[in-house]
């Protein structure tokens, strides 16, 4: 019995039976596959890359209104302000989303003349209020960016691909002095769909959602949960919104590499699918 258990634990988490089930569900708005990114990975290897749960925080929501377009996508507006990373076997989505949104928004608002990548690794290694490769919280990571700040990615490069977080560095990788860049205040703008859309037309937004088993099979299209149990939580960056064949969606940037999904991005149905509209955060310049 023990021998059989060990074998089952080492089986790939994504399997053909689940894929076949997804391929035969009628009226799907998204296409499925076993992505190369997760092929042959065991359940424990995949679980090491996601948050153990989706946390909610007791923070007052801001409500923004005003005219919004029927569709909007920052990748069309300022494609050079975006870059997709791969977090590897480290539950660092919280850090990549925080510095990813920070980088993109500084580029969008011309605070940086061109996109500058900021160090997710510094957050992972130095933010003692979070848990490194074991996961983190959106509000804590944004508080760290506000109070401490981060150096650039070229100063402290990402090195936690294998799930190991090195000690907090006191210098850049090349031995030079650390220079920190800080954000301003942060706020939750997920008071309504209108508020999210209105905010998205001026900057990107950080949010989290519940990860179900079927999400790992996503290839393209507008994701809606169809089958499988909850595996944990995940944090991403909203970059736009739109509608396709009568289905309204959010567009989001992931950190599973450009070979996953729609060149590293995905779309998910609007209407709080998987809790993606429960709480979402923006950082202000001041």
Active site residues: 93, 234, 254
Beta bridge partners of 243: 248
Pairing state between β 230-244 and 205-212: antiparallel
Pick the closest to residue 108 from 204, 173, 30, 186 (CA basis).
Answer: 204
Pick the closest to residue 238 from 273, 210, 196 (CA basis).
Answer: 196
In whole angstroms, how far apart are CA 25 and each of 86, 114, 161, 218, 231? 30, 44, 35, 14, 21
Which tokens sit at 185? Answer: 């205040």
In whole angstroms, how far apart are CA 278 and each of 61, 124, 189, 192, 207? 10, 25, 10, 9, 8
Which tokens sit at 281? Answer: 């955060």
Q: Is the dihedral of CA 50, 51, 53, 58 positive or negative?
A: negative
Pick the closest to residue 209 from 250, 248, 246 (CA basis).
Answer: 250
Distance between CA 259 and CA 64 in Å, rounded? 35
């Amino acid at each position: 019995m023990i021998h059989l258990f060990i074998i089952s634990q080492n089986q790939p988490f994504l399997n053909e039976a689940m894929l076949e089930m997804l391929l035969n569900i009628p009226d799907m708005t998204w296409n499925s596959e076993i992505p190369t990114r997760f092929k042959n990975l065991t359940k424990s290897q995949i679980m090491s890359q996601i948050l153990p749960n989706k946390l909610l925080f007791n923070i007052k929501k801001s409500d923004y209104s005003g005219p919004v377009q029927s569709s909007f996508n920052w990748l069309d507006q300022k494609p050079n302000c975006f870059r997709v990373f791969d977090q590897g076997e480290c539950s660092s989505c919280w850090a990549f989303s925080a510095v990813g949104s920070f980088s993109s928004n500084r580029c969008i608002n011309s605070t940086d003349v061109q996109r500058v990548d900021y160090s997710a690794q510094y957050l992972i290694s130095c933010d003692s209020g979070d848990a490194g490769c074991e996961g983190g919280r959106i509000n804590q990571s944004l508080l760290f960016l506000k109070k401490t700040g981060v150096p650039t990615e070229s100063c402290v490069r990402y090195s936690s691909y294998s799930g190991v977080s090195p000690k907090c560095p006191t210098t850049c990788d090349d031995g030079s002095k650390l220079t920190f860049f800080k954000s301003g205040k942060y706020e939750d703008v997920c008071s309504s769909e209108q508020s999210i859309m209105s905010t998205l037309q001026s900057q990107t937004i950080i949010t989290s959602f519940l990860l179900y088993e079927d999400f790992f099979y996503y290839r393209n299209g507008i994701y809606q949960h169809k089958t499988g149990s909850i595996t944990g939580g995940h944090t991403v960056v909203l970059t736009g919104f739109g509608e396709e064949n009568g289905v309204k969606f959010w567009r989001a940037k992931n950190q599973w590499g450009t070979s996953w999904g729609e060149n590293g991005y995905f779309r998910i149905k609007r209407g709080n699918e998987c809790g993606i509209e429960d709480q979402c955060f923006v950082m202000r310049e001041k």
